[in-house]
Structure 1
Amino acid sequence: MQRRNGLFWGIFLLTLGVLFLARRAGWLDVDWHSLVNLWPVLLILAGVNLILERRGNPIAFVTTVMLAVAIPATLFGFFNRHHDRDRDGFHMRWNHDDDDDDNGDNSYGDRNDNDDDNGDEEDNDDDYQHERERRNAESGRVQTNTFTETMDASTHEAVLKLSGGAGRFIISNPTSELIKADARQTVGMYSMSVDRDPATHIPTIELKPKDEHQHIDLKDGDFENRMDIHLNDKPIWTMDVALGAGQGDLDLSAYAVKSLKLGAGAADLDLKLGAKVDQADIKLDVGAASVTVHVPKEVGCRIKKDGALNVEQLDDFTNVGGGEYVSPGYDASSKKMLIRFDGGISRFKVVRY
């Protein structure tokens, strides 16, 4: 039985949400180190699931559900293991002097036999708590930024380089500017640079986080990272997009995209391509992801697929061997597209519209 996109990602997100809630409510007391060390089980489970689905075995429904629970739990455990190490080290520095307190009273006043000193310590604790609350409030504040670059009428080609961590990334309707991007984030900030080639005058736009190694505390459920991008539809575009975990809604149907390199980790990607160029080269390199690609019917499409642990839905394509598939009437098509897909534990679907 084919694994449905909604089933896997619905359970995936539900599990992740429950883990966030349990973490914030203090319900979790888990040995994250032992849990994360079991990650090879995911590969075994994914292999069993793939075999069962290829054979149409109904038990594949059970293994799909198990994967949808196990993958987010392992990812959550990995990040929280490092968070717990940092947190435990912090508490050790504050509680070190309590180790010799055998009477069960944790007050500093009993240790020093001085009520005034105890009052000073309590004031310091209050100051620390207020400072911590202030920093938490600041880190939870949503920051918004808008980036724009004016369109030059002489610009016939352009390059977009986009990178981001966990979050949601959207490319949609065209703009009269060369680019207009709106960013919303609670952690870190984005930056944009535009460099024009001295000889060809082709602009290269680079949009990325200022701190590419920004720490994200998964205990805080108020994290937001969203990027909405609008491009000019006049130039021919070359795109290099590198995303982490999250969601990508990339509607490129209105743009002339001759080359797209898209890399992602644990993500849900929906990519819509257009028919604005005679030859398009699309390279998809993903990890644990669900990828849906929409291709115009008037474009002849060839797919080269790699990766053993993939479930693909290529119903309108003919398997020509060697992991390659072609759309009907490919050779006679005046416009052609090559899609190269390399996936880890992933689901790959191509829809002709």
Structure 2
Amino acid sequence: MKADKIFWGIVFIFVGTVFLLENFGVIDFSWRDIWRFWPLLLVITGVNIVFKDSKSNTGVIIIVLITTATLAFLTFKGLTGTQKTDDVPWEWSHNEDEVNNEENKEFSTNIYNEDYNAKYKNATLSINGGASKFSIESGSEKLFESKIKETISRYYLKKTDTDSTVVLSFNSKNKKNGFNFKDTEFSDVKIKLHTQPTWDVNLNMGAGKVNFDLSNNKINTINLKGGAADFNIKLGSLSEQINLNAETGIAKVSIEIPQDAACEIKTSTGLSSKDFEDFVKKSDGIYVSPNFDTAKNKIYINLKGGLSDFEVTRY
């Protein structure tokens, strides 16, 4: 048997087993916490490339041992990720005072907001974050309001507006205002949006969890990009047409849509699993709700993923 087939077989068994055990509640696995170790995937892929054409059993044994050891390490970190200890990946300090200061940091709640103006008819929110937990709900008197529990201000909010259109950029930052996964790995980002404008929402993140309840908002488009993440999106019936695009690596994507809205799902998902209950398969990779031709409101969902779990339900 070829070494590269053994390599990919082990990887698929690992990912599939973790998803299966997590779905049945047997384990609580944190994809967010193992995302920090993504360079290890480059290491084991490189080992596979070096030894895949080896005609001796030695190459196969090396691939199996290194791949198994790496995945075992990632399993351990994923299962114990929520129990933070004194490990700080990729950085080591020889100064005991610095280590103690890190352990004794106090968290505070930072608030970011922008006032609502009745002239705003269309609004765009673009979020760029690292490994965090993001939630969006409606109900704020502000155009945008966010509360984040963190040690320092790790995000910045920028607004630009022209006539009836407003654009908000909500980005993570490091000391040089660049993108930084480590800066946001423990952030719990809670966001509230005003219900009057029609929103475009763009999210680009590394790993973490997303809970977007947009059922009371008028939505035009939603674009989601993430690596190892858990996306939960709830949509409403206030817009005649909604376009949702999700592009993920190893992720779970759950989308809720209202019964009175028609829906078309297009998938390009590799080895991902799909659960589209009450949908009719129209052709390869295309599914529609039974009321697609008659309903006034329509939702178009485009899903792309490598090893992901996609689910669309109607409420």
- The alignment's TM-score, normalised by the length of structure 2, stands at 0.73
Deviation at 1:341, TM superposition (A): 0.4
Match in the other structure for 1:227? 189
Distance 2:249 2:89 in 1: 23
Q: Which of 13, 20, 23 is the matching residue for 1:6?
A: 23
What are the within-5 Å matches in structure 2 for residues 313-332 of structure 1? 313-332=275-294
Residues 144, 11 of structure 1: CA spacing in aligned structure 2 closer, same or farther, 3 A cutoff? closer
- The alignment's TM-score, normalised by the length of structure 1, stands at 0.65
Residues 350, 196 of structure 1: CA spacing in aligned structure 2 closer, same or farther, 3 A cutoff? same
Cα pair 1:292 1:350 within 8 Å, conserved:
yes
User: Taking every aligned residue pair, what percent have the same amino acid on both sides?
Assistant: 25
Match in the other structure for 1:245? 207
Distance 2:272 2:124 in 1: 31
Cα pair 1:157 1:235 within 8 Å, conserved:
yes
Q: Report whether the alignment pairs 1:168 with 2:133.
A: yes
Distance 1:133 1:191 in 2: 27
Match in the other structure for 1:351? 313
Q: Report whether the alignment pairs 1:136 with 2:83.
A: no
Paired residues, number: 264
Cα pair 1:186 1:223 within 8 Å, conserved:
no
Q: List runs of 5+ in structure 1 lacking aligned partners.
A: 21-31, 43-65, 77-81, 92-127
SS in structure 2 of the partner of residue 308 of structure 1 = coil
Distance 1:146 1:15 in 2: 24
Distance 1:319 1:143 in 2: 49
Q: Deviations over 1:100-153 (max 9, x none)?
A: xxxxxxxxxxxxxxxxxxxxxxxxxxxx433x2454246x43242111111111
Cα pair 1:190 1:209 within 8 Å, conserved:
yes
Distance 1:71 1:274 in 2: 41
Deviation at 1:72, TM superposition (A): 3.9
Q: Between Structure 1 and Structure 2, which shows a larger proportion of helix residues?
A: 1
Q: Report whether the alignment pairs 1:184 with 2:149.
A: yes
Q: Which of 107, 113, 120 is the matching residue for 1:155?
A: 120
Match in the other structure for 1:206? 169
Cα pair 1:157 1:202 within 8 Å, conserved:
yes
Q: List runs of 5+ in structure 2 lacking aligned partners.
A: 1-15, 49-67, 79-87
Distance 2:151 2:26 in 1: 24
Cα pair 1:16 1:73 within 8 Å, conserved:
no
Computing the radius of gyration over CA atoms, which structure comes out larger, 1 or 2? 1
Distance 1:4 1:135 in 2: 38
Distance 1:4 1:129 in 2: 40
Distance 1:129 1:10 in 2: 35
